[in-house]
Amino acid sequence: MKLLVFSDNDEVAKEILSGVRPFKERAFVLTYSSESFEGFADKVLRCSISSNIRFEDHAVAAIENVAKMENFDLILVGATKRGKEIAPRVAQRLGYPCVTDVTKIDVGESIVVERMCFSGKTIATIRLSRLPAVISVMPKVFEIEEGNEIPEESQVSVDVSENTKVIEVIEKEKSEVDLENARVVIGLGRGVGKRENVERLYELKEILEAEFGSTRPVAYDYSWLPEDTMIGFSGKKIKPELYIAVGISGQIQHMIGVMHAKRILAINKDENAPIFEYADYGIVSRWEEVIPKLVEVIKRNKKL
């Protein structure tokens, strides 16, 4: 099976390339970076873009052009924020069927995929009735596993006919957090109460060498933390060894992002909060009482 993989995030591209290795005959990757992709792709197609062209428009045109030349069976796009726009636009341009936000791919006599529906409340199983097709794949679905591929390389030039031009780029506030690769993540929900209370959790963050994550309201509505700390259906998907949920109710839209955490510790004063259905360990109490005691215990154990 001949495949084209694209993501604006190199790690996500490598995840997809690792996941499709069992059923690919030849896998191409289209990239705007200088990453080598040795051990992952059979061929690397490199693109460059001028500053006045919108990235999504350029990527759609690049994928369309390459697909028309190479006749791929599947085009797999990482379901990042940009990928969620790019995948369906590519499918529309090429007239291909499209399945988005895929979490599982099975290839046998036919291709069967699973995807989240209704904000993650249900899982749909879909059989592709024809190929070629476009699939957008959620981050963290596959583990990165290096193979023995030694890729060829070529440059791709693209003429973009879109009417949209970039006039100015204003960067949003960003944290220096690397949530996807963090060993421990402390997730903050509305139950934290107010922005000033975030500071009361810094000591726990430091002694655990953790990163802060957040629910959508905390990052998007209240701006207690930067938007790039948001975890969930419309945010990041993480896979830490430990996820500590502080004041998080446990709505499915958030929990989708932490489903692959190895251990979940929930701290919530509401014993009926949905978070306890997902947690490996749960503490029913006010976080203001629990966190200082937790810090004390961790410090004491570190001294032993």
User: Is residue 174 one of the residues assigned to a domain?
Assistant: no
- Please report which residue ranges of 223-272 form alpha helices under DSSP H: 252-255
* 200 belongs to a structural domain: yes
Same domain for 149 and 256, yes or no, is no
Q: Convert the pLDDT of each residue in 4-43 to its tens digit.
A: 999 999 999 999 999 999 999 999 999 999 999 999 999 9
The sign of the CA dihedral 249, 250, 253, 256 is positive
Q: What pTM, to 2 d.p., does this model score?
A: 0.75
Give domain status of residue 238, yes or no: yes
Structure confidence by residue, pLDDT tens digits, 233-266:
878 889 999 999 999 999 988 998 898 899 999 9
Helices (H), the chain: 10-20, 55-70, 81-94, 202-207, 216, 252-255, 275-278, 287-303
For the chain, give the mean pLDDT.
91
Both 209 and 135 in one domain: the answer is no
Q: Is residue 164 part of a domain?
A: no
pLDDT band at 304 (very low <50, low <70, confident <90, very high): low
Q: Calculate Rg over the CA atoms of the chain.
A: 21
Asked whether residue 12 falls in the same domain as residue 146, the answer is: yes
Confidence (pLDDT) at 173: 65
Note whether 142 and 183 are same-domain residues: no
Predicted local distance difference test score (pLDDT) of residue 111: 93
Angle value at C-alpha 138, between 169 and 279, nearest 5 degrees: 110
Query: What is the pLDDT confidence band of residue 51, given thresholds at 50, 70 and 90?
Result: confident
pLDDT over threshold 90, residue 214: yes
Q: Are residues 206 and 225 in contact, defined by beta-carbon separation less than 8 angstroms?
A: no
Which of 155, 189, 217 delimits the end of a domain? Answer: 155
Q: Are residues 68 and 105 in the same domain?
A: yes
> Do residues 108 and 195 both lie within one domain?
no
Q: Are residues 144 and 6 in the same domain?
A: yes
Q: What is the pLDDT of residue 55?
A: 92
Whether 99 shows a pLDDT value over 60: the answer reads: yes
Q: How far apart are the first and last CA of the chain?
A: 55
Classify residue 126: in a domain, yes or no.
yes
- Identify whether residues 234 and 268 lie together within a single domain: yes
pLDDT tens track for 56-77? 999 999 999 999 999 899 999 9
Residue-number span of the structural domain to which 136 is assigned: 2-155
Q: Fill in the DSSP letter of residue 58.
A: H
Whether residue 160 is contained in a domain is answered as no
pLDDT of res. 119? 65
CATH at 225: 3.40.50.1220
Q: How many domains does the chain have?
A: 2
Highest mean pLDDT among 84-93, 106-115, 160-169: 84-93
CATH number at residue 71: 3.40.50.620
pLDDT (average), residues 139-154: 91
For residue 158, pLDDT over 70 is answered with yes
Asked if 150 and 11 sit in the same domain, the reply is yes
Contacts of 48 (CB under 8 A, 6+ apart): 32, 155
**What mean pLDDT comes out for the span 221-232?**
90
Confirm whether 271 is domain-assigned.
yes
146 and 240 co-located in one domain? no
88: in domain: yes
Does 7 share its domain with 142? yes
d(CA 147, CA 150): 9
Contacts of 152 (CB under 8 A, 6+ apart): 42, 43, 44
Q: Give the pLDDT band (50/70/90) at residue 162.
A: low
What pLDDT, on a 0 to 100 scale, did the predictor assign at position 171?
77
94 and 224 within one domain: no
